[in-house]
Structure 1
Amino acid sequence: MSEDPAMIRTLPRVLPRLLAVLAAVLVTVPIAPAAAVAEPTSPTVTWSVQPADQKGPDGRR
């Protein structure tokens, strides 16, 4: 398996440019979604309170 000499000579010039592009992409693309970083909200608790003397549709309390 022989390597192309022209490719070997251009690699030192292309590699820093490739690394710069890769670094720019990694900086601009968020690593984690914004929702995962946001402060969690407290869960909403809902319930209904019936008066003590109220009966259900089947006559039971």
Structure 2
Amino acid sequence: MDRFADLERVSAWAKEAVAASVRKGWMQGVTDSELLPFGEASRGQAATMLLQVLTSLGAIEK
């Protein structure tokens, strides 16, 4: 998580969940150094994250 320059912009209540999502590979940031926590996810970004979550949980096969 330290690689993200905008980490301080993540809301306090969300920091633990965001950190877990990054560790599990569900979230990668919009660049190598930016999460953009107040940005809007595109439909493609949301679909990619959902695919990563469901695959890692064994709910679907890639």
For CA contacts below 8 A with separation 6 or more, give which structure has more relative contact order. 2
TM-score (norm 1): 0.28
Who wins on radius of gyration, i.e. which is larger? Answer: 1
TM-score using structure 2 length: 0.28
